[in-house]
Amino acid sequence: MEIRFYKYQGTGNDFIIIDDRSNNFDISQQTLVQKMCHRHFGIGADGMILLRNHSQYDFEMVYFNSDGRLGSMCGNGGRCIVQFAKDLGIIPADKVVFFVASDGLHEAYMKENLIYLKMQDVYEIESSSTYYFLNTGSPHHIEFVTGLDELNVYERGRRIRYDDYYHKIGGTNVNFAELGRNNTVSVRTYERGVENETYSCGTGVTAVALTTYFKGFESPVKVYTKGGILSVSFEKTEKGFENIYLIGPAEFVFEGIYKFKR
């Protein structure tokens, strides 16, 4: 058996993308997804994305974590699949795109080689003296720290990710953020499903940017990740945060054919 795949990355968050408009890929093949995403025995990726037809919108995004399980919304993956759809010629480069993901409908557009991805509105944010928790398509625990570069993100993030408090939602993604000057913030993220620190996390960057509002920041917020720079714009309303956009590059890396035995 063989599968044609395309590799894309958004600020170092990398994905295997498959044009599955024919619906040939069996989404129950958890082991196959694991093998394809494996850094040493496969192609290597933080996750896999299927592009599928949708009866009402431009396409559907089906996202898998690198552990092979169907995942929640992935912001950088969302930007990458929009770039992929434009590269395939499914949609014109100047067209506003509408697609369905695990958390519902999204829209996106391209401007000056950046993908502007509209995220879901956020109306509920849990907070304490030490952390924030919110869902931006995926659940995110956020702690503001000093000395971010020296922090052991794997050890500390893993402990929070598997804390009993988050057990009821299947664990959480964990972000550590350090405030900078002029509406800038640096972020490092431990991602569930990858079970390690990633170079960037789009829904995590979005979550952190929103919580900087409570630190006196204004939209847009520039966010530094290990893999590059993203921006998040938003409107603060009486209900919460609306018109949220995750903004950044999405780039083709390579394509190939993955051959395997059943």
| Neighbouring C-beta atoms of residue 224, cutoff 10 Å | 20
Q: What is the mean pLDDT of residues 183-190?
A: 98
Domains 2-116+250-259 and 125-248 share a fold: yes
Q: Model confidence over 189-238: pLDDT tens digits?
A: 999 999 999 999 999 999 999 999 999 999 999 999 999 999 999 999 99
Q: Which two tokens stand for residue 110?
A: 């391209």
Does 80 qualify as catalytic in the annotation?
A: no
3-state secondary structure of 157: helix
Does 201 qualify as catalytic in the annotation?
A: yes
Cβ proximity of 96 and 105 under 8 Å: no
pLDDT of residue 185: 98
Residue of 187, 200, 156, 191 lying closest to 170 (CA atoms): 191
The mean pLDDT value of the chain amounts to 97
User: Which of the following is catalytic: 17, 50, 62, 74?
Assistant: 74
**Which residues lie across from 3 on neighbouring strands?**
258
Question: Where exactly are the structural domains of the chain?
Answer: 2-116+250-259, 125-248
What type of residue sits at position 235? E
What type of residue sits at position 241? F
Q: Which two tokens stand for residue 19?
A: 């044009």
261 has pLDDT over 90? no
Q: How far is CA 82 from CA 34, 88, 93, 115, in A?
A: 23, 10, 10, 8
Residue whose structure tokens are 């480069």 = 93
- The superfamily CATH assigns to domain 125-248 is Diaminopimelate Epimerase; Chain A, domain 1 (3.10.310.10)
188 has pLDDT over 80? yes
For the question of whether the overall pTM of this predicted structure is more than 0.85, the answer is yes
Q: Model confidence over 112-157: pLDDT tens digits?
A: 999 999 999 999 999 999 999 999 999 999 999 999 999 999 999 9
User: Which of the following is catalytic: 153, 201, 232, 247?
Assistant: 201
93 has pLDDT over 90? no
Proportion of the chain above pLDDT 90, given as a percent: 98
Q: In this structure, is the dihedral angle defined by the CA atoms of residues 195, 197, 198 and 202, taken in order, positive or negative?
A: positive
CATH architecture group of domain 2-116+250-259: Roll (3.10)
